[in-house]
Chain A
Amino acid sequence: MARVEFHNVVKRFGDVEAIRDMNLTIEDGEFVALLGPSGCGKSTSLFMLAGIYLPSSGELLFDDRVVNEVEAKDRNIGIVFQSYALYPHMTVRDNVLFPLRFKRIPREEALGRVRAAADLVQVEELLDRRPSELSGGQQQRVALARALVKEPQLLLLDEPLSNLDATLRLTMRTEIKSLQKKLRVTTILVTHDQVEATTMADRIICMRGGRIEQIGTPDDLYHRPDSLFIAGFIGSPPINLIRGQARDGAVHVGPVAFPFEGLPGAVTVGLRPEHLKFAVSGLKGRIGQMEPMGREILYVVETDVGYVRVLEHGSLAVHAAGEPVNIGFSPDESLVFETASERLIAAARVCPPA
């Protein structure tokens, strides 16, 4: 178990700066997610932690010790790769045993630990099979067992769920989370899937273009996104971002206006689909499409300000395609961003009661 710190870490590949001045502390036993679109530097950070990439400058600390130059093999880190990266020519037992081979552990004890790890992720009956004979979910469990068998001080998960089907993804999400809580191992999950990040992690580090965009709990990121980027990235179905104007102490969105204390100028108003209601007045539009999602229905409404997504609870459609509607919303639930800087300027009012 370890506390992990990044101090002004920079990673360059030739002329490209993959990581720009990263500062971050991950507490002992914490489960954090590195979230961002592909190419944002999250995998680079992971590989630096694993000791596969050397930081170009800055310091990487495990428990207050600088580990920049410590080799991968000496870091005692468990990784689960997106591809699981099981050794195809070995049985499951040998796969899980592999990390212990370099530790000078007596064979009996090593095999005992393999059984314990396999037991932990429920693959004990698969020990004699080869990876090619396993399903995706089983391979995933074996990869977890291999990462955990050496009792790592840090567990790194690189997109661990993206190769699983939807149902299995739900199961593994729960299992990995409870496993982490049980073992209290510092865990870093790298993902581009915001659902994975918000459902599993205690804290989310949202990255963009090699920089940390925002750090916060899943709640923070959802309700108080620092920037348009985060607002658009977190939440499914995605937030509606509508152009507006701030003037005369109010924000004007189409025909709708609500009071606003900030400086006048172009703003972007963020409205979560579930905060929008069909009402007698408000944004005028016409229902374009309906997407039934089981418990709720997503309406895509064509308005003067573009497509607006409205999420209605209930499984029965109350509106038909082509029907003219008005969309109403509460100013308290809207996020106002300055269009030029893409920063949040009016968030305090939308905070849910803590």
Chain B
Amino acid sequence: MAAPATFTGIDTRLATPADWDRLAARARSLRRAKAVALYAFLIAVSLPIILPYFWLLTIAFSTKTGVADTLVLWRSLAVLALAVIAFWLAAMLAQTRRQMWVGVTAIALAATIVFARLVGPDLHLRNFIFLVEPDFASIVRSRAGEVRGAVQFPSVWRAFGNSTLIAGAQTVIVLTVAPLAAYYLSRFQFPARAAMLRSLLVLHAFPVLTLIVPMFLMLYWIGLLDTLAGVILVLVAFELPFAIFIMKGFFDAVPWDIEMSALTDGASRRQAFLRVVLPQVRNGLLAIAVFTFIRGWEEYIFVFTFLIRNTNWTMSLYMYYVRDDVMGVDYGVVSAVGVFYLVPSLILYLAAQRYLMQMSIGGVKG
């Protein structure tokens, strides 16, 4: 009988206990080296993604009107880079989980102190003036000695409300229509079902921007141009196919048995749907709710085209006009508006992340 070779390729017949220790040590160091290389790579590729957000935050809280000072950016970047490298080293050198936690905590503490000393004195909240002062543009401009008339901005809360309304209404409509349509597509056989499923995907594949002119005309003719309702309808129409497709995948995964069981237990088709099937697809509902809301929240091109009056501005339009008006004068305010715009979707994502992770589009079949 031939002795099996180990995965290291060494014939086990020749291995003594001492060899085993040596082999184990080699495997350990190999594993560690691989992990180090992997983390180095991950850090390198994630830096360009993390850095803009980090700088956005730093600028929003530190830049002063009329000053294009980048020193604070470099300082904060230095602290961040050193901290990341220190974390990496700690993870690499730590022998136990406990050691690692101690190291990570110490580094985090040190980084916070250095950050507070180097960048702290420059931090301030004055860039968030737009939250309380609608006519902040004039104030910001006068600070820089420019007195030319600024754009008349509506209150940022107005834009915030409009964005919330658009995203919220869109979410409610999608959440109502998509599950019903998806359930029907998943459970019932009807003419042109396959064609409909295919067209759902094709619809999603189209660049929606190509339809902007016809959409504009349609909204104009039905009198919904420059109304939030018009934008909501357009967004719903573009968001629905994808939501339906996602929901169909979730419904497909609900076994027929429990539905039949509910029917024989005395439930009507509607009761079975509401009480037994719908609770099984809760994660799907959450996923499409979050995605739809965020799509509505970040919507720019349609609101830019279909909304005209400044009382109809959404956060994205507000952001655009702020950039347009005070960018040359005050980067800080522009960044602060960006941070304010970013926070709700960030919170939503963090809250729903657990459910979004469970969504697998790959498992969807027609």
Pick 24 A–B contacts, CB within 8 A, sort by A: A51-B263, A52-B260, A52-B263, A72-B264, A75-B264, A76-B266, A77-B264, A79-B261, A79-B264, A81-B260, A82-B257, A85-B257, A85-B258, A85-B260, A87-B261, A87-B279, A88-B258, A88-B280, A89-B280, A98-B275, A102-B267, A102-B271, A146-B261, A150-B266
| B21: interface (CB < 8 Å) | no
Residues 259-290 of B, flagged 1 when their CB comes within 8 A of A and 0 if not, give 01111111110010001100110100000000
| A99: interface (CB < 8 Å) | yes
Are A102 and B266 touching (Cβ within 8 A)? yes
Nearest A residue to B259, CB-CB = A85
| A78: interface (CB < 8 Å) | yes
Report the Cα distance A291→B258, complex, angstroms: 41
Are A102 and B263 touching (Cβ within 8 A)? no
A220 to chain B, nearest CB (A): 31
Contact of A83 among B257, B265, B282 (CB under 8 A): B257
| A86: interface (CB < 8 Å) | yes
Task: Tally A-B pairs: CB < 8 A.
Answer: 65
Chain A interface main SS type: loop
A45 to chain B, nearest CB (A): 14
Report the Cα distance A47→B258, complex, angstroms: 13
Residues 222-266 of B, flagged 1 when their CB comes within 8 A of A and 0 if not, give 000000000000000000000000000000000101101111111
Report the Cα distance A150→B275, complex, angstroms: 18
Nearest B residue to A154, CB-CB = B264
Residues 82-122 of A, flagged 1 when their CB comes within 8 A of B and 0 if not, give 11011111000000001101110000000000000000000
Nearest B residue to A152, CB-CB = B264
Collect the chain A residues with CB atoms within 8 Å of residue B260's CB: 47, 50, 52, 72, 79, 81, 85
Report the Cα distance A189→B338, complex, angstroms: 66
Task: Supply 8 further A-B pairs (C-beta < 8 A) apart from A72-B260, A83-B255, A86-B258.
Answer: A51-B263, A73-B263, A73-B268, A81-B260, A85-B255, A87-B262, A87-B276, A146-B265
Residues 45-60 of A, flagged 1 when their CB comes within 8 A of B and 0 if not, give 0010011100000000
Interface residues on B, range: 10 to 19
Contact of A73 among B255, B258, B264, B276 (CB under 8 A): B264
Nearest 5 CB-CB pairings of A with B: A102-B266, A85-B257, A99-B265, A85-B261, A72-B263
Interface residues on A, range: 20 to 34
A4 to chain B, nearest CB (A): 15
Q: Which of B258, B268, B280, B282 has the most CB of A within 10 A?
A: B258
Q: Given A87-B276, A89-B280, does the pair A150, B265 have CB atoms closer than 8 Å?
A: yes
Nearest A residue to B279, CB-CB = A89
Collect the chain B residues with CB atoms within 8 Å of residue A52's CB: 260, 263-264
B214 to chain A, nearest CB (A): 41
Q: Given A87-B276, A88-B280, A89-B280, does the pair A103, B258 have CB atoms closer than 8 Å?
A: no
